[in-house]
Structure 1
Amino acid sequence: MEEEELNRKIEAAVVEILRESDMSSTSESMVRSMASKRLGLDLSGGVRKLFVRGIVESFLESQQSEDEEAVEDFPAISLKGEEESAEQPPADREEEAEGGSSTTRSRRPKEYDDQGVLILCRLSNRRRVTLQDFKGKTLVSIREYYRKDGKELPSSKGISLTIEQWQAFRNAVPNITAAIKKLKGFD
């Protein structure tokens, strides 16, 4: 079999496996092993291993681009300066978005956790807001994480919202903010 044709077959198999896999629990090694079985080839050796790694990285980069586009549907999540942003005139916010000094979500590099899940915001050392696909549904998760064997893993403490639930919550934020301000007035 010609090398170029073999590379195309390997790439097709790896991409197909990646598309079928749950990316939150699939490692490069697992993909390489599945592709090896599917093709009847040893892909664990130096050059082949690097070739598969390149395909996986390319696939993940394309997924990140798609995730970034999906994130654009969500408002910026900011803990510091929320009140400043809310009081700032819309024209100023547009100017910042076009190239001003604002640190909006599109300016900072995208961050992913150990499972390849997009981290939208870090609420604290152990709490995060993430965007992920789970069983075919896109979820916004606000969750606490813990360390095990050097990896940060999600705990059961938290909530995962569907896009519809997130939009309902987002629409309720002004009322929640008003209620918080009202409560602060009674302290």
Structure 2
Amino acid sequence: MDSETEQRIKDVVLGILREANMEETTEYKVRTAAAEKLGLDLSLPDRKLFVRQVVEDFLVSKKEEGEQEQNHQHQQQQQQEDEEQVEEEEEEEEDEKGKKQKREYDDEGDLIICRLSNKRRVTIQDFKGRTLVSIREYYEKDGKQMPSSKGISLTAEQWESFSKAVPKIEDAIRKLEED
């Protein structure tokens, strides 16, 4: 990150902190507001650390000015930041796990849970007011992926029964492979 960008981020963050209600403000809120004002992604690790440092420096300078009230707010801010940091780390872990599986929808608006192969997908769809888990083949028509009749759609109850039976199915497959 170049020094000009750092200075712009620092100026915006400090401006937000000066106007903010320190009882309610968290590092996450400051970073989000600054990202919107700057049009930059401040959730990148180096930028996130830089914003955190600016916030901490701001809080330390307020403390050094002798504001006892700020001291109390700093403790609350730290506690909120710690809570936010734990939440953010959990979100980041979920994001890292789900990066390959960001919410993706097919041409009919059905949520794609996973792609079993180039032509097979598992989707969640709403059909006549019922939620169905659909495992089926797709074919290409006019540049769009269309569902074929080859597959199965299970209601939530059927899916639950099936998913409970998966360990037994896996055991049976292992036994067949051993023979």
TM-score scaled by structure 2? 0.46
Q: TM-score, normalised by structure 1?
A: 0.44
Bigger helix share: 2
